Amino acid sequence: MDPKEKKTKQEEELKVDDIQDTVEGQSQNEEATEATEPLTAEEKLEKELKEAQAQIEDQKDKYLRLSAEFDNYRKRTVKEKAELILNGGEKSIKSILPVIDDMERALTTMETATDVNAVKEGVELIYNKFLSILSQDGVKVIETKDQPLDTDYHEAIAVIPAPTEEQKGKILDCVQTGYTLNGKVIRHAKVVVGE
């Protein structure tokens, strides 16, 4: 064979090989593409599923934390309320303790005292101190002297003829003092009213 023919034959063989390679490559690419497309869709669905599951877990975690936080808040407020009920009067009681100390000293002094006026003055000081402490805690005495009867604050336990025309319907005497706590009546004043 002639070198030219040999060269041409080799070129043709190369071309055939190239064509076969190209065809094989295309068929492999088509097969790969066909195989890849469903995998891509599956992978995409798997990825979306994993993301959705992660979001669900995240939301569950947030819900559980919020639920636990609310439960702790509820328990804490119940505990605080119970403590307030149990120890609510602690401040008032502590403020009254000095009055009790003064009363004990007055009782001790009365056993040996010879001056009644001094003892009386001491008891009045203790009484005024006690009223002052109550006033600081919001307790006020309900006024009754020469006041008209007000059933929101007064309880008429007796009605007697009024000595003068001006005293009709007014309080003549207070049998038991009434008190308010921060504006709310905690004990009505028991009074005698003129008619």
Residues contacting residue 96 through CB under 8 Å, at least 6 positions apart: 130, 133
- The whole-number pLDDT of residue 8 equals 65
Question: Residue 190's CB: how many other CB atoms inside 10 A?
Answer: 17
- What are the pLDDT digits (tens) for 115-171? 889 999 999 999 999 999 999 989 999 999 889 999 999 999 999 998 888 888 899
The answer to whether position 173 is within a domain reads yes
- The whole-number pLDDT of residue 48 equals 93
The answer to whether position 2 is within a domain reads no
Overall domain count for the chain: 3
From first to last of the 195 residues of the chain, give the pLDDT tens digit.
565 666 666 666 666 566 666 656 555 555 555 545 556 888 889 999 999 999 999 999 999 999 999 999 999 999 999 988 888 788 888 999 999 999 999 999 888 888 889 999 999 999 999 999 999 989 999 999 889 999 999 999 999 998 888 888 899 999 999 999 999 999 999 999 998
- The whole-number pLDDT of residue 114 equals 87
Query: Taking the C-alpha atoms of 181, 186, 191 and 194 in order, what is their torsion angle to the nearest 10 degrees?
Result: 70
Model confidence pTM above 0.85: no
The answer to whether position 102 is within a domain reads yes
For 29-80, give the DSSP string.
Answer: HHHHHHHHHHHHHHHHHHHHHHHHHHHHHHHHHHHHHHHHHHHHHHHHHHHH
- The whole-number pLDDT of residue 26 equals 59
Which helix (H) or strand (E) covers residue 139, if one does?
strand 139-141
Q: Which domain holds residue 101?
A: 88-136
The answer to whether position 7 is within a domain reads no
Q: Do residues 149 and 173 make contact, with C-beta atoms less than 8 angstroms apart?
A: no
State whether 144 and 129 are in the same domain. no
